[in-house]
Amino acid sequence: MLKEKLIIIITLVMLLCACNMQEQQTQLAQIKAQNKIRVGTLASASNYYQAVQGEQGFEYELSQAFADYLGVELEIVPFFNLSDMFERLESGDLDIIASGLTYNKVRAQQYRYGPTYRTISQKLVYKQGRVRPREFDDLDGNFTVIAKSSHSLTLQKIKKSNPDLTWQETEELDEEELLQAVIDGEIDYTLADSHTLSLFRRYHPNLSIGFSVTRNDPIAWILNKSKDDSLYALLVPFFGEVKQSNQLYVLEEKYFGHVRQFNYVNTLAYIEAIKETLPTYRPWFEQYAGSLDWRLLAALSYQESMWNPRAKSPTGVRGIMMLTRSTAKQVGVTNRLEPEQNIRGGAKYLAKLVKRIPDRIPQPDRTWLALAAYNVGWGHVNDARIITEQQGASPDKWADVKKRLPLLIKKRYYRKTRYGYARGDVAVKYVDNIRRYYDALVWLDENNALAPEPETPKVEKAAQPSKEPVNNDKTEPTPSLSPEEKSKQGENNTQQSQ
């Protein structure tokens, strides 16, 4: 009996010791022991979302990079409101919040911020058609923001010097839903972060900016406040490394680089064309896309011709995909003004360019490089890739090559290249435009907001083209030409840009 009691006492002591040891274990040691880090984020287009190709989002990829840095698995935990996310952090169910949240002194009293890695601004937004408010005193309707958000904290600070300022708060809607509520006329005003607004206005151009409420707000990850510095201590070298290695810039370019510029008239015209014109040609985009995404093909076509089958550039490229006579001959197009033929030929040519990209280059960089080649010629793109490598960056990443393409207009650079002068700056804008058009199409399609396509495309048959001179070609330029001749031979005409 005594022996059994002794065994029970020893067992209890061992359990208590084990519990104490676990309590004394650092946060980093626990993460290592569990082989996972738990990261909370608000589900959104800028943070985290599920796509056809899997999990996507700026904060998701940055969190994955940190998990790799620690040598553990990432457990991403999406949330739909801030209250739940912060409660889970406080309870210890999350290690970090990575959700594009800005630094705030009030919040910093309760939580610990990591290093700043981006800056944004907060904008007051309203629907086009209302009188533009230029300050808070101009507001004359329902003003709603997310409860316990950075927007709410900002307004509380402003109210100290502007006591008449009033607003409502909600936990039922996220930032994008509030923006949609403005579009739908359910509320009159809200606040939005600049990056979220840029993404949203790709397909809702009627959302307008009244004024900037804040500028250059620092963004950082958030941890629990404690004396345990084990995890926080690794955030500093991690962010230093992703900045130094250009990894952070590549992520910013991937998710936000193409939406920095906004043109209201152009975007509005595009949305209208999606409703009125795209249904006519959509069956052919789908039929001839092959391994390409038909929506990418359609976006490329809009950038080239605004879906005008009779489009013609000053240099002679023609049709809905703007093919040169030489390129048309390569891909079997006999009448460039016949839209079905032109779409089939453009799809075939783009597919050829994608295949020409080195196999080691992953998506989406392969596609962006191919689109640049469609505009300026693969030879010029490859020249930019060589310059990129010479400058110590990656020739396989569009974000890095994009920086160097504009150098091809400078003599000190193009005179040392194989194919010479090219309007690389135009190619960069060209790809950015297509990416915006593509993103909008994808969003509208996935939200069942595209107009139904007709059963059979009905297009007036175009007249046979008259004799045309041989103009610039979207094929490899000839190295023996002068820089100016190479440019004409190797780059496409300047497209309709924003």
Listed residue (143, 162, 142, 163) closest to 152, CA to CA: 143
Q: Which residue has the tokens 């594009």?
A: 100
Distances (CA, A) of 294 to 19, 47, 346, 351, 442: 58, 26, 12, 12, 10
What is d(CA 320, CA 273) in angstroms, rounded to the nearest whole number?
14
| CB 146 within 8 Å of CB 169 | yes
Q: Are 101 and 148 in contact (CB under 8 A)?
A: no
Tokens of 112: 């610990």
Contacts of 484 (CB under 8 A, 6+ apart): 421
Q: Which of 59, 253, 304, 340 is catalytic?
A: 304
Nearest to 305 by CA among 420, 425, 462: 462
Distance CA 175, CA 44 (A): 8
- Compute the distance between CA of residue 213 and CA of residue 154 in angstroms, rounded to an integer: 8
CA dihedral 109, 110, 111, 116 (to 10 degrees): -30
For strand 36-42 and strand 96-97, is the pairing parallel, antiparallel, or unpaired?
A: parallel
Task: Answer whether 402's CB lies under 8 Å from 257's CB.
Answer: yes
**Token output for 33:** 């022991």
Report long-range pairs for 358-365 (Cβ below 8 Å, ≥24 apart).
358/396, 360/396, 361/396, 363/53, 364/254, 364/398, 365/396, 365/397, 365/398
Catalytic residue check, 304: yes
At position 449, the amino acid (one-letter code) is: A
Closest by CA position to 307, among listed 330, 350, 275: 275
Type of residue at 99: S
As a whole number of angstroms, the distance between CA 91 and CA 61 comes to 25
Give the separation between CA 72 and CA 161, rounded to whole angstroms: 47
Catalytically active residues, by annotation: 304
